[in-house]
Amino acid sequence: MIRVSVIGAKGRMGQHVVAAVRNAKYMELALTIDAGEDITAITPENTDVAVEFSVPSASLENVRALVKSGVHVVVGTTGWTEEKMDIVRADLKEHPGLSVFIAPNFAISTVLAEYFAAQAAKYFESAEIVELHHPDKVDAPSGTALHTAHALAAARQAAGMPNIPDNTQTDGGSRGQVVDGIHVHAVRLRGLNAHEEILFGNAGEQLVIRADSFDRTSFMPGVLLAVRKAGTRAGLSVGLDQYLDL
């Protein structure tokens, strides 16, 4: 049995993770922690893997506390920068064998959309990203859109492509946030859950790659896969794609 504790357990994602772990074969729910509760109660004596879905402002300190305790960590919270990940990498040096796995998105549709988009990137002069979410989301653009923008930019750079053409002369904010040279647009709309479109253009043609997570259950197979894989790859790793046969 894999003993799984959940941090942010009262949140939208946390509640789904608690239910998914309860229903998963060979897993048992250990502790559930939310804001104001003592995360140091999670120890190797009661937990093999901790799943963290909290808020961007709290996630780094939660992960550091869990690493210090000596449990594997699966993280879905957004807001991770290279600087924050370097802090975790440094902590992990004191805990050889321990794994911290961060996934900007656990939905297979979105992971594949980003993978296909990275393949397509070098064939198109223009690329932009539109992410669409529920209005209760606290961060914009989404962690997924940021990750996708970095992947597209890396693919374009590797292919030696020039800057994306854009002759905008005045911009009151309508052109979105520019991430690594890619324009990223965020929509917040009641009724939506989590959606992403990657738009590519050439003269006379367009390719749109779109992923829709209609329900948070879409993230659960990916979360459970990451829990099962915890410890197989020591250190910090990012992205569910590495566990897929791509």
Ligand X SMILES: O=C(O)C1=N[C@H](C(=O)O)C[C@H](O)C1
Ligand Y SMILES: NC(=O)C1=CN([C@@H]2O[C@H](COP(=O)(O)OP(=O)(O)OC[C@H]3O[C@@H](n4cnc5c(N)ncnc54)[C@H](O)[C@@H]3O)[C@@H](O)[C@H]2O)C=CC1
Q: Under the rule (CB under 6 A), what is the footprint of ligand Y?
A: 7-8, 10-14, 33-35, 53-56, 58, 62, 76-78, 103-106, 143, 219
Residue selected from 105, 113, 117, 184 as contacting ligand X according to rule CB under 6 A: 105
103 among annotated binding-site residues: yes
13 among annotated binding-site residues: yes
- What's the DSSP call for residue 57? H
Place of tokens 């859109």: 145
- Closest separation between CB of residue 127 and ligand Y, Å? 23
List residues bridging with 27 in a β-sheet: 2
**Closer residue to ligand Y, CB minimum distance, 50 or 164:** 50
Nearest partner of 180 among 155, 159, 199, judged by Cα: 155
139 contacts 81 by C-beta, under 8 angstroms: no
- Closest separation between CB of residue 231 and ligand X, Å? 24
Q: Alpha-carbon distance 125 to 127, whole Å?
A: 7
Looking at 16, 72, 133, 185, which residue is catalytic?
133
97 among annotated binding-site residues: no
Count how many Cα atoms sit within 13 Å of the Cα of residue 169 in the half-sphere of its side chain: 0
For residue 137, indicate whether it is catalytic. Answer: yes
Q: Which window, 15-23, 38-46, 63-71, 137-145, contacts ligand X (CB under 6 A)?
A: 137-145
Burial label for 58, CB within 10 Å (0-12, 13-18, 19+), is middle
> What is the H or E stretch that residue 5 is in?
strand 2-7
Q: Binding to ligand X by residue 229, rule CB under 6 A?
A: no
User: Known binding site for (S)-2,3,4,5-tetrahydrodipicolinate: residues?
Assistant: 134, 143-144
What amino acid positions are annotated as catalytic residues? 133, 137
Residues that bind ligand X (CB under 6 A): 78, 104-105, 133, 137, 142-144, 194
